[in-house]
Chains A and B, each alone.
Chain A
């Protein structure tokens, strides 16, 4: 079993939809949770960074962490075609090491 599981998609939604992206994990020592966006043939770009449980909002993006369920989510409101990318979750115990999910491909249709 992988430490971090992420549905690879692809996920296709119409423009304006609310998108929900999720990761589950098995290591209860993870405390730091990140979401990266990766456009095709580009490097991952940090979107959200959260510590421990709770919600964090930044514009159209909301990150949620539920440590009791070992489940994290990224919500995208009013999705745009420019949001079409692969979304990677990443987690850390607070040491150097990030563990990444394999990514979910999102396509927002105009």
Chain B
């Protein structure tokens, strides 16, 4: 168990809908990362937060947004969902958010868009 928690485990929804994925980092970690994993693309970095502030953006669509709250938990919002958004979404956390830090991954949320 990495200490990173994610809810829900599974989410099934329809095209055009909006969903929110939640992540709680390991105790003491200040940085949260979001990744998308699909069969053909592997793990793709979406966005990073450090202590409530956005630090870096990767391949995140404009329909997606995220935030990190004062208690350090983070939420990833996905809107106007398309079939292609079906994937595993992982949250990871690290202490300082630098590239020398180890990232610890949560168990993921499996999103299915029908």
**Which residues does A use to contact B, with CB under 8 Å?**
32, 34, 36, 41-46, 49, 51, 88, 90, 92-103
- Of residues 42 to 86 in B, which have CB atoms within 8 Å of A's CB atoms? 42-43, 45, 48, 55-56, 58
- Please give, as numbers and ranges, the residues of chain A lying within 8 Å of B104 by CB-CB distance: 46
Could you say which of B56, B97, B103 has the most chain A C-beta atoms within 10 Å of its C-beta? Answer: B103
Inter-chain contact B99/A32, CB cutoff 8 Å: yes
- Of residues 78 to 107 in B, which have CB atoms within 8 Å of A's CB atoms? 90, 97-100, 102-107
Inter-chain contact B98/A95, CB cutoff 8 Å: yes
B2 interface hit (Cβ, 8 Å) = yes
Instruction: Give chain A nearest CB distance to B73 CB in angstroms.
Output: 17
- Please give, as numbers and ranges, the residues of chain B lying within 8 Å of A94 by CB-CB distance: 98-100
- Please give, as numbers and ranges, the residues of chain A lying within 8 Å of B48 by CB-CB distance: 96
- Interface residues on chain B, number (Cβ under 8 Å): 25
Inter-chain contact B43/A100, CB cutoff 8 Å: yes
Instruction: Give chain A nearest CB distance to B48 CB in angstroms.
Output: 5
Inter-chain contact A102/B105, CB cutoff 8 Å: no
CA distance A53 to B4 in the complex (A): 30
Inter-chain contact B42/A102, CB cutoff 8 Å: yes
**Option from B43, B45, B102 in Cβ contact (under 8 Å) with A49:** B102
Instruction: Give chain A nearest CB distance to B101 CB in angstroms.
Output: 9
Inter-chain contact B90/A98, CB cutoff 8 Å: no
Taking A42-B107, A43-B105, A101-B42 as contacts, is the C-beta distance between A95 and B2 under 8 angstroms? no
Taking A43-B107, A102-B42 as contacts, is the C-beta distance between A96 and B55 under 8 angstroms? yes
B25 interface hit (Cβ, 8 Å) = no
Inter-chain contact B99/A97, CB cutoff 8 Å: yes
**Option from A43, A90, A92, A98 in Cβ contact (under 8 Å) with B108:** A43
- Please give, as numbers and ranges, the residues of chain B lying within 8 Å of A45 by CB-CB distance: 2, 105
